Amino acid sequence: MAGQARKQQHEAHQRNRRTERRGTGTDDEEPRTHRGATGTRTETGAWAFHREEPAAQGRIARVRQWWARAWGSAGHERHTLLLIGKSTLAATIAWFFSYNLLEAESPAFAPFSAVLIMQVTVYQSLLQSLRYVGAVATGVAVQAALGYLAGPDLLTFALVAVVALTIGRWPALGSQGSQVATAAFFAFSTYVTAPAGLGKITHLAQIILLVLIGCGVGVIVNVTLVPPLRYRSAEHGIHTLARALCDLVSDMYPAMRQGEMEEERISHWRGRAEQTGELIRQAENRLRTARESLYFNPRSRLGRYRDPKGFEGYGAVLKALERTMYQMASLIRSLDQWRQDGSDRDRRFLCNYADFLEAVSRIVQVLGELDEDTLADQTDELCRLADQAQRCCRQVTDQAEQDGLPLTNPAYPYGVLVVEATRLMDEFRYTCDVLRRQAA
Whole-angstrom distance, CA of residue 48 vs CA of residue 34: 10
- List of residues 6+ apart from 261 with CB closer than 8 A: 255, 335, 338, 340, 350
Whole-angstrom distance, CA of residue 9 vs CA of residue 112: 59
Question: How high is the pLDDT of residue 95?
Answer: 95
From the list 259, 424, 427, the residue with the least C-alpha distance to 357 is: 424
Number of C-alpha atoms within 13 angstroms, CB side, residue 389? 24
Question: How high is the pLDDT of residue 298?
Answer: 37
Question: How high is the pLDDT of residue 120?
Answer: 61
Task: Report CA 257 to chain centroid distance, whole Å.
Answer: 28
Whole-angstrom distance, CA of residue 92 vs CA of residue 225: 15
Question: How high is the pLDDT of residue 48?
Answer: 44
At CA 342, angle to CA 336 and CA 348, rounded to 5?
A: 90
Question: How high is the pLDDT of residue 65?
Answer: 77
Q: What is the pLDDT along the chain (440 residues), one digit of tens a residue?
A: 444 444 444 444 444 443 443 333 333 333 333 333 344 433 333 344 455 666 666 778 777 777 877 777 656 677 788 888 899 999 999 999 999 998 888 888 899 999 988 876 677 788 889 999 999 999 999 988 998 888 888 898 999 999 999 999 999 998 899 999 999 998 888 888 877 766 778 888 889 999 999 999 998 888 787 665 455 677 778 888 888 888 889 889 998 888 887 888 888 888 888 887 788 888 887 787 777 655 433 344 445 444 555 567 778 888 888 888 888 888 888 888 776 666 788 888 889 999 999 999 999 888 888 887 788 888 899 999 999 999 999 999 888 888 888 888 777 788 888 998 999 999 889 888 888 887 76
406 SS3 class? coil
Contact of 290 with 233, CB cutoff 8 Å: yes
Q: Tell the burial category of 94 from Cβ atoms under 10 Å away from its Cβ (0-12, 13-18, 19+).
A: buried
Question: How high is the pLDDT of residue 189?
Answer: 87
At CA 218, angle to CA 214 and CA 222, rounded to 5?
A: 175
From the list 55, 66, 14, the residue with the least C-alpha distance to 251 is: 55
DSSP 20-65: HHHHH-S-S-PPPEEE-SSSEEETTS-EE---SSPPP-SHHHHHHH
Residues 386-395: b if buried by 16+ CB within 10 A, e if exposed: bebbbebbee
Residue 39 — left, alpha, or beta (φ > 0 → left; ψ -120 to 50 → alpha)? left
Contact of 121 with 281, CB cutoff 8 Å: no
Question: How high is the pLDDT of residue 139?
Answer: 93
End-to-end CA distance of the chain: 56
Whole-angstrom distance, CA of residue 300 vs CA of residue 303: 8
Question: How high is the pLDDT of residue 305?
Answer: 47
